[in-house]
Structure 1
């Protein structure tokens, strides 16, 4: 959510006017994230002030974006707490600002839980299962654009920046995941739309400390159709680990999975392949962070993430595979 494209007050007001939302009273860039341009926008329609998030898409095209935006609409209509893209008078939810495809969505209340407890992990696990079930009948299809095909394409690009030990690890893990994808057990895994990036900073909670309630999931712009187990693994690798070591916190992981399983029962193959998908989730984000760190794009406020974090996580998942039993 760095600022790649500077949005003027005039440009923001033009969109807000088209959407019938009143006057822009505040506009400020959002510093976190590295994919799109994001601004907080406050509006006043004469009756109340409302807060929004304006996103200009820097990599995704007009052809790709309807999948993400209509998925959010689909989930919102099924009571999954996600930002709801705002439509103009014709019903269009994909707009253009400063020559870039753009969307305006409602800002979720609350804040992030960057040091989650069992309480927070239980709520995320429950809501992730509900999201998967709610999205099962979503009619649009688009692959996970940061899935295996992208890993295979990108590993050679980041190879020159790695040590010999890192090259060996990334090559061996990519080969493992390529083989896994050909197996019948993997191909039979339940699948559908996944968030694919549901980290601690993409979930909001609100309420008194220790009693916060989940208010929503956001930033769906890595979503795609993939195995639901991959989505679970991405969450476990962020919500249920020690950030310093990359080790899985088994207590939080047990709570997360039990909460998910209570809403959608995990299959035998999902339980069996969970260790392999935890490795897949770690590989995906190691590759993307290497790419963003060594081949950055120019942007105001750009702060690429440290790629060594997910190298540690991957080494942990390979060296200490974890199995969950009901």
Structure 2
């Protein structure tokens, strides 16, 4: 993520003494994303990832870190949080909450083939099932409530056409969220940000999901839509690649079959997933924060995707659907 809070090796050395990882030998900032300050740290025990949280509070963070531990304990490939000598997963650094997790092996697959999409789909379904009874409930903090709070902050910067698009889409999503069908959709903890750069591969073998700090409780089909809208598209146009879409959906369905309600909701959820990231990128672009290594994303990318999802039929979900 972007580095908002600088940390040096001298800073980290005494702080690391509370963790069972030995001395810190090197630290390097990670320059991607725009939410937290992330660093690779090398210690006498190996390589880890340090995150300083710029927006999330000490009270909110147990949801994310305990969720990751729950998933790891159930065979889902995720970074494992490291507790300090007092058993704490969140510890203050420079006055802000911070945590250390294990570093995944492999690299992000930025040009995925259907085989990679199938691996992601299957692991996403296993993640949803593993977390379905997770004891902590926290809403998706970038859901409808955030959309309504953020829309007035970006509208003045938009063209008349984009103002109309934004207002019309949030009205559509509000209407759908008020239906019994929506309320009956299978739900639970979701990653909510499972883009290509948040998954690691070693060749065709998936080695892990990471960056769970947008996770929250939402419909599982929304999580699938977020993932499809990144992994299964032509990046230049936003058009869906049917071979990749079908590979991901078939692999997910083989682990957790889709329901009839999810089939009805599918196109609207693809629109919701595009809208969520269009709105957040508009906000980050027009209301930037200072950072040492800030890389805001182009809002136009998800505007194009949203317009396509509004006007094109969605590829169908796999058949033999379960009832809600």
TM category, shorter: over 0.9
Q: 1:121-160 alignment to 2 at 5 Å?
A: 121-160=117-156
Instruction: Show CA shifts across 1:189-237 (max 9, x none).
Output: 0000000000000000013xxxx20000000000000000000000010
**Aligned equivalents of 2:10 and 2:80: distance in 1?**
23
Q: 1:1-326 alignment to 2 at 5 Å?
A: 1-45=1-45, 50-207=46-203, 212-324=204-316, 325-326=318-319
**Aligned equivalents of 1:200 and 1:14: distance in 2?**
35
- Is this contact kept in 2: 1:229–1:277, CA < 8 A? yes
Partner secondary structure for residue 51 of structure 2: strand
Partner secondary structure for residue 75 of structure 2: coil
Q: Which runs of structure 1 show a deviation greater than 6 angstroms over 4 or more consecutive aligned residues? A: none
User: Shift of residue 89 of structure 1?
Assistant: 1.8
Quote the RMSD (CA, aligned, Å).
0.8
**Aligned equivalents of 1:321 and 1:180: distance in 2?**
17
Partner secondary structure for residue 253 of structure 2: helix
**Aligned equivalents of 2:3 and 2:77: distance in 1?**
26
User: Shift of residue 165 of structure 1?
Assistant: 0.4
**Structure 2: 5+ residue runs without aligned partners?**
320-324
**Aligned equivalents of 1:96 and 1:79: distance in 2?**
30
**Aligned equivalents of 1:74 and 1:273: distance in 2?**
28
User: Shift of residue 25 of structure 1?
Assistant: 1.2
User: Shift of residue 24 of structure 1?
Assistant: 1.2
**Aligned equivalents of 2:205 and 2:153: distance in 1?**
42
Normalised by the size of structure 1, how large is the TM-score? Answer: 0.96
Partner secondary structure for residue 247 of structure 1: coil
**Structure 1: 5+ residue runs without aligned partners?**
none
- Is this contact kept in 1: 2:9–2:25, CA < 8 A? no
**Aligned equivalents of 1:15 and 1:193: distance in 2?**
32
User: Shift of residue 96 of structure 1?
Assistant: 1.0
Size of the alignment, in residue pairs?
A: 318
Instruction: Show CA shifts across 1:230-281 (max 9, x none).
Output: 0000001000011100111111111100000000010001011100000000
Partner secondary structure for residue 167 of structure 1: helix
